[in-house]
Structure 1
Amino acid sequence: MGQVRFYTRSGRTPAEALFDRLDARFADEGWPVSLSEVDEKAELFEASVYFEDADTVDETAVREAFGDAEPVREDLPDIDWMAEVLAGLKPVRAGRFLVHGAHDRDKVLPNDLAIEIEAGQAFGTGHHGTTAGCLTMIESVVRRRRPRNALDLGTGSAVLAIAFAKLARRPVLATDIDPVAIAVARQNVRANGVSRYVETATATGFGSPAFRRAAPFDLVIANILAGPLMQLAPQLARHLSADGDVVLSGILERQRDAVLSAYRIQGLFHRRTLRRGEWVTLHLCRNRAGAV
């Protein structure tokens, strides 16, 4: 008894094709299928399928589904992962923001801007350096610039959109390519009492009518990865107001200069870099004054 997963690693295109095959074969039976990037520099991706009971898995069917890709079998310990994760996740403080789970509501202080996000949902519980860095930068930008509206691009759990809404009390559009993430984001928005301010939408890049309704944005927040951020630079700049600000993260220190160059071409100037471990969060703006 115990969980088991089968996986292979390859480039993006074959990994995506394999993910589609596994999803078509196993999703209707309730077995989770995943696709994740395991090495950005090497452009290496991992396609996996998980089974609840290792003793009853039909390995022949699994290997047939993988086709020419020989899967690796990994037997997983029989652990209540949610309990383990919640036990290890402590509240995260970033400026006035306190990101916490329901089990830590008693840690909220009177002047905190509390954001309740449960682990195990969509990406973004505040514990990763990129999310915490964005929260710190959002507070700084909102206090100084008072943006009238915002975009949280690649919202995941919606923690950043919720943070902006709680602090600025202004409209924010939260988008993601993953409809599951958007469903979770909507739940979190409601749970945190900011439905009045936050609109959610499933969208790839800037391909949604929601952008046309809400743009231009005074503040764009994008915590994704360096590669997609550079690809999206022209579209992002077109949806930014004439004096708008941008907060970018999901960027390794060694990728910082390349990202800054991609946005400098679009007329966006670097104002500040916030470092947390190997990750950086960038603040850019339209206005050259004060840029570095």
Structure 2
Amino acid sequence: MSVDQLSISLTKEQAYALVDAVSERDDLALTASAHENEETGEWVFEATCDSPPDLAAYAALARQVLGGDVSFSVEPIDPEVNWVAKSLEGLAPVIAGGFYVYGSHETGTIPEGLTPMKIDAAQAFGTGHHETTTGCLEAIEALLADRNPARMIDIGTGTGVLAIALAKRLEAVILATDIDPIAVTTTVENAVENGVGDQIDAIEAAGLDNPEIAARAPYDLVVANILAGPLVELAPGVGAITQPGGTAILSGILNTQADGVIAAYEAAGFALKDHLKRKDWTTLVLEKA
């Protein structure tokens, strides 16, 4: 596959605004990120795209988000390079709730009082930097202050970051599922790296379509950081596998999509308990009646 890297120097606020705007589209980029150039101090927006990138669409989006015309530079990426990891390497550690998410490149001291998780950039979603992941970690932190769930499932686990967070705090086994076999392998590797390999069972599943999911039900905690559309489709099934009084933590939802997801889960027997907003993104905490 031929892949290009599109980039431009902006202010920090502009770079993050453009990342958010690109993230709302599924047709522009494979990954999008913002980072500070350590040599110049400038902030850089970068997007990894199928070659050739749709420069006209990027120019239109930049005019909408930034209020003016900008010039993007485009460079081809070596097809032998893991371009997802390349685009994300060097990211600073993230503190969300009581969790500290960092990459193996980080050499600083882990702050006291936080639960560390080493999650390297990989070909799966979930390094802790996106608002959907930080929102879920904050919701998990708040939930664990009140209860200790025993039966848990992480749907669309990605790198396994949320399942690992639960395993780090609880003496229980978490079922982690993903439609992508690369994500399943990544989750297993990250679980072992973080010392919780025996607490996470990672399996390949499209949504709830795996007999292992039904066999372990009912769950007192369901976590799903995917997208609003699939979350709405899964609402009846999530309602069926969640025990009364159980909790669902859902993200991957734009603020503008939250009401539709809430309505779908209320119809499936849930009540809204918390609504976290981080920039343009929502995390929902719901309880099964």
TM-score by length of 2: 0.73
Whichever residue aligns with residue 73 of structure 1, its letter is: P
Determine if contact 1:154/1:175 at 8 Å carries over to the other structure. Answer: yes
Gaps of 5+ in 2: 5-21, 31-49, 54-73
CA distance in 2, matches of 1:112, 1:197: 20
CA distance in 2, matches of 1:39, 1:105: 29
CA distance in 2, matches of 1:224, 1:84: 21
Whichever residue aligns with residue 220 of structure 2, its letter is: D
How far off is 1:85 after superposition?
3.3
Question: Secondary structure at the residue paired with 2:203?
Answer: strand
Whichever residue aligns with residue 88 of structure 2, its letter is: V
CA distance in 1, matches of 2:163, 2:119: 12
Question: Secondary structure at the residue paired with 2:252?
Answer: strand
Question: Secondary structure at the residue paired with 2:106?
Answer: helix
Question: Secondary structure at the residue paired with 1:222?
Answer: strand
Farther off after superposition, 105-114 or 267-276: 105-114
How far off is 1:120 after superposition?
3.1
The corresponding residue for 1:186 is: 188
Structure 2 matches for 1:1-292, cutoff 5 A?
4-5=2-3, 45=27, 73-74=52-53, 76-77=75-76, 82=85, 85-87=88-90, 89-287=91-289
Question: Secondary structure at the residue paired with 1:283?
Answer: strand
* Superposed CA RMSD: 2.5
User: How many residues matched?
Assistant: 229
Determine if contact 2:123/2:182 at 8 Å carries over to the other structure. Answer: no
CA distance in 1, matches of 2:259, 2:233: 15
User: Alpha carbons of 1:121 and 1:169: their partners in 2 closer, same or farther (altered >3 Å)?
Assistant: farther
Determine if contact 1:273/1:281 at 8 Å carries over to the other structure. Answer: yes
How far off is 1:242 after superposition?
1.6
User: Alpha carbons of 1:208 and 1:128: their partners in 2 closer, same or farther (altered >3 Å)?
Assistant: same
User: Alpha carbons of 1:133 and 1:47: their partners in 2 closer, same or farther (altered >3 Å)?
Assistant: closer
How far off is 1:105 after superposition?
4.7
Whichever residue aligns with residue 244 of structure 1, its letter is: G
User: Alpha carbons of 1:105 and 1:140: their partners in 2 closer, same or farther (altered >3 Å)?
Assistant: farther
Query: Structure 1 vs Structure 2: percent identity of aligned residues?
Result: 41
Whichever residue aligns with residue 76 of structure 1, its letter is: E
The corresponding residue for 1:64 is: none
CA distance in 1, matches of 2:211, 2:236: 18
CA distance in 1, matches of 2:143, 2:123: 28
Determine if contact 1:39/1:45 at 8 Å carries over to the other structure. Answer: no
Determine if contact 2:239/2:288 at 8 Å carries over to the other structure. Answer: no
CA distance in 2, matches of 1:106, 1:5: 33
CA distance in 2, matches of 1:94, 1:5: 32
Determine if contact 1:246/1:285 at 8 Å carries over to the other structure. Answer: yes
User: Alpha carbons of 1:47 and 1:132: their partners in 2 closer, same or farther (altered >3 Å)?
Assistant: closer
How far off is 1:122 after superposition?
1.1
How far off is 1:213 after superposition?
2.8
Question: Secondary structure at the residue paired with 1:145?
Answer: coil
CA distance in 2, matches of 1:104, 1:40: 29
CA distance in 2, matches of 1:142, 1:39: 30
Whichever residue aligns with residue 195 of structure 2, its letter is: G
CA distance in 2, matches of 1:211, 1:125: 25
How far off is 1:142 after superposition?
1.8
Gaps of 5+ in 1: 7-37, 49-70, 288-292
